[in-house]
Amino acid sequence: MNSRLAILVKGELHRLHKYNLTSVSVLVALIWGVFLFFLDSSLDTMLPFVLVMDATMMSIMYVGAVMFFEKSESTISTMLVTPVTNSELVLSKVLANTLHNMFASALIITVFMIIKDVSINIPLVVIAILLTTAFHTTLGVFMAYYQKDFTGMLVNVMIFSFVLFVPSVLFLLNVISGPIWEAILLINPIQAGQEIILAAFKDYEFTYKYYFSLSYLIVLGILGYKYFVLPKFQDYAVKQSGV
């Protein structure tokens, strides 16, 4: 990582803390922790569900919140007149939000590994959370470009959840099942995230679905960043300067 990107990531993490988003994140992790602590029977299903939710919906919300704070203070205009490149600015948000989310997820995982003796493959869960969060943060950055306020962003996240998250959860809970749903859900990034997160838990059977989901998130993430998120950033940032 170049030094300027490192400075930007550090700055983003500092602001996440200063604007109380880290506190919110820890609080949410604690609430989930308490909820899961009293849930003995379906812990194996619910813990991955919480991790998926944190890495997908919550990632979009956090990066949306950060960008709306920036919008309200027009600070992005100042960033535009520094030697920082647009790609460094976007990447710093993605990296900082991913690390931030990893921290919250790590809290939950650690507590459950110690208290509930849950067996998790650490390298696999770390890769899965990092990848899923990075993808959804990038998506959140793109969604924030087109929203005037945070309420608008929340509405979009709700729609996004309804369309993509609910089917994925219903499938996880076996409410919907079968090969057709399995095939349809393969192109759902939340399902892809869920698939690779589940792989870190015991009794997961590695099939083509894991490798497809892993590749899907990587390829779609890179293409989305290169062809949508980065090219649109300049327009978004210029609008924040009052144009």
**Identified binder of another protein from the candidate list 24, 30, 46, 84, rule CB under 8 A:** 84
Q: Which is nearer to another protein, 116 or 232 (CB)?
A: 232
**Identified binder of another protein from the candidate list 24, 45, 77, 176, rule CB under 8 A:** 77
With H, G, I as helix, E, B as strand and everything else as coil, classify residue 120.
strand
The answer to whether the CB of 152 falls within 8 A of the CB of 69 is: no
Q: Which is nearer to another protein, 8 or 108 (CB)?
A: 8
Distance of CA 105 to the CA centre of its chain: 11
Residue 234 sits in the site that holds another protein (CB under 8 A): yes
Residue 186 sits in the site that holds another protein (CB under 8 A): no
Distance CA 29, CA 23 (A): 10
Residue 238 sits in the site that holds another protein (CB under 8 A): yes
The CB-side HSE value for 69 (13 A sphere, CA atoms) comes to 13
State the nearest-atom distance from the C-beta of 97 to another protein, in Å. Answer: 17
DSSP code of residue 229: I
**Identified binder of another protein from the candidate list 85, 151, 207, 215, rule CB under 8 A:** 85
Q: Which of residues 6-35 bind another protein (CB under 8 A)?
A: 7-8, 11, 14-15, 18-19
Residue 81 sits in the site that holds another protein (CB under 8 A): yes
Distance CA 243, CA 131 (A): 35
Distance CA 44, CA 33 (A): 14
State the nearest-atom distance from the C-beta of 176 to another protein, in Å. Answer: 44
Q: Which is nearer to another protein, 11 or 26 (CB)?
A: 11
The answer to whether the CB of 62 falls within 8 A of the CB of 25 is: yes
Distance CA 53, CA 8 (A): 26
Read off φ and ψ for residue 120, nearest 5 degrees: -135, 140
State the nearest-atom distance from the C-beta of 8 to another protein, in Å. Answer: 8
- Look up residue 236 and give its amino acid: Y
State the nearest-atom distance from the C-beta of 71 to another protein, in Å. Answer: 12
Distance CA 107, CA 109 (A): 6
State the nearest-atom distance from the C-beta of 100 to another protein, in Å. Answer: 16
**Identified binder of another protein from the candidate list 74, 151, 177, 215, rule CB under 8 A:** 74
Q: Which is nearer to another protein, 93 or 209 (CB)?
A: 93
DSSP 96-115: HHHHHHHHHHHHHHHHHHHH
**Binding interface with another protein (CB under 8 A):** 4, 7-8, 11, 14-15, 18-19, 73-75, 77-78, 80-85, 234, 238, 241-243
